[in-house]
Chain A
């Protein structure tokens, strides 16, 4: 069966050149512990520092400002928790947005239970945070603002540079989660005006289990979560994941090198996908910003059908996609991102996300469109909802009492 992978925002295959580099650091004389003084240690140490330079170069930073972590989630936790506790003498207020990844949102919410005051900013219909809202939320107690660069569910790119300008004027520390944007669009720490930035390896054809946190020189930040050895200049304890770090370095280098050409190709495929899906199907909405979105990202809500049944049907035809649908995430809630954008829960249940990558072709897009048509037709023929019925049963609820949207 033909297999089409349209879930690159979930994870990507490791680039062969990256895998090759990583393999070298598992074998021969290259397996050493970077902390060791001897020959084996020195080889590993040098590889780690070269990777650090590559990551720094990719975001316009100094290598000393890069700390390797286990991935995006750790980078977010480390950044937010570290800033909050290191700056508690200055204030206790943290600002974030309603559409952040759970790694940010749940970290901020946890701090909200530890004596910090939190503001969760709303977004507009495209999932965009308003710079004015950020400005208006700032108080003399604000110590940290954390807003993602690009949204993982709807692909919308946030006005980070404008917020960065604001936070610099007001002297507030600014963190951005750039896990989805890094490697896809230019991410330069000075242009964005950020003090901390999270990135991850496996979203950019690197391995899983590796990420980095950029911490601008002079930022009042301390490691507050991990206790242990003096690795990463006291910023991240634990023996370095040398093959992972080498892989991230190579992946970052390749991503920046290929970005322009890759973007052009992906943008064309994405635009075709959006044009054809919104043109061929009835009762379908593009989610996220129509223009200010990641070049590889298309996301939709199909009315009257549910996301998981679309994904299962697509999977049976060899197409891998994902959904903000409750049922796929293991929880019962529709996506917090779509709800924050004002999409009604019943429509949010019909969400689907298609994220393209370097191996995708126009034939993949055509194949998707070809198999999607009968899928939508079939699921709508099974559904009791339609244009005629609408969602007129909304006031009735079976009283599951499990979902937060349950009205019983």
Chain B
């Protein structure tokens, strides 16, 4: 039911972990619903220089989290904000229909991390 790419990112997720001195942290989902994603970013000159994630959830939730970290790393914040959940799903060669909503939140988590970073930047 999952594409090979999903299984690859599930089995070997990229950028797992936490960044203790992160510039921004974004968290979406809820364990009651079965998914929770937490994304940490380091930002320098408006560019995402490092990114890590932690996810509680199904195979799709873990794979999309892993994928968004690869897609966002090295991107300017403006570009990263344009990344959508749909693009993440496409980059993974698609997700089963019932996973499109519940477990496809990785872009939302990234956007939340960027919003957190910007809030912290304000004097």
Known: A308-B58, A384-B38, A398-B105. Is A330-B98 also a contact (CB below 8 A)?
yes
Number of A-B contacts (CB under 8 A): 104
A397 touches B54 (CB 8 A): no
| Interface stretch of the complex, out of B25-33, B72-80, B113-121 | B25-33
Chain A, interface size category, equals: 35 or more
A309 touches B32 (CB 8 A): no
Binary CB contact string for chain A from 47 to 86 against chain B (1 if under 8 A, 0 otherwise): 0000000000000000000000000000000000000000
The one of A313, A326, A383 that contacts B56, using a Cβ cutoff of 8 Å: A383
B16 close to A (CB within 8 Å): yes
Known: A346-B32, A384-B38, A403-B33. Is A309-B57 also a contact (CB below 8 A)?
yes
Known: A384-B55, A393-B30, A397-B32. Is A403-B62 also a contact (CB below 8 A)?
no
What is the minimal beta-carbon distance from A317 to any residue of chain B, in angstroms? 11
B101 close to A (CB within 8 Å): yes
A312 close to B (CB within 8 Å): yes
The one of B13, B36, B60 that contacts A384, using a Cβ cutoff of 8 Å: B36
A405 touches B33 (CB 8 A): yes
Binary CB contact string for chain A from 387 to 408 against chain B (1 if under 8 A, 0 otherwise): 0000101101110101101110
Known: A304-B56, A332-B102, A383-B56. Is A398-B62 also a contact (CB below 8 A)?
no
The one of A304, A327, A403, A407 that contacts B58, using a Cβ cutoff of 8 Å: A327
State in angstroms the CA–CA spacing of A243 and B13 once bound together: 48
Q: Considering the complex, which residues of chain A in the window 304-327 have a beta carbon less than 8 Å from any beta carbon of chain B?
A: 304-309, 312-313, 316, 325-327
**Interface of chain A: mostly helix, strand, loop or mixed:** loop
Which A residues are in CB contact (< 8 Å) with B31? Answer: 345-346, 349, 385, 391, 393-394
B34 touches A398 (CB 8 A): no
State in angstroms the CA–CA spacing of A277 and B102 once bound together: 30
B33 touches A406 (CB 8 A): yes
* Chain A residue nearest to B16 in the complex (CB): A382
B30 touches A397 (CB 8 A): yes
A308-B58, A312-B10, A385-B31 given; name 7 further pairs at CB < 8 Å.
Answer: A309-B57, A309-B59, A327-B99, A345-B32, A391-B31, A402-B101, A403-B33
Return 14 A-B CB contacts under 8 Å, by A number. A306-B58, A309-B58, A309-B62, A313-B11, A327-B99, A346-B31, A349-B31, A384-B38, A384-B54, A384-B56, A398-B28, A398-B33, A400-B102, A403-B33
The interface of chain A, by Cβ under 8 A from chain B, is 304-309, 312-313, 316, 325-327, 330-332, 334, 344-346, 349, 381-385, 391, 393-394, 396-398, 400, 402-403, 405-407
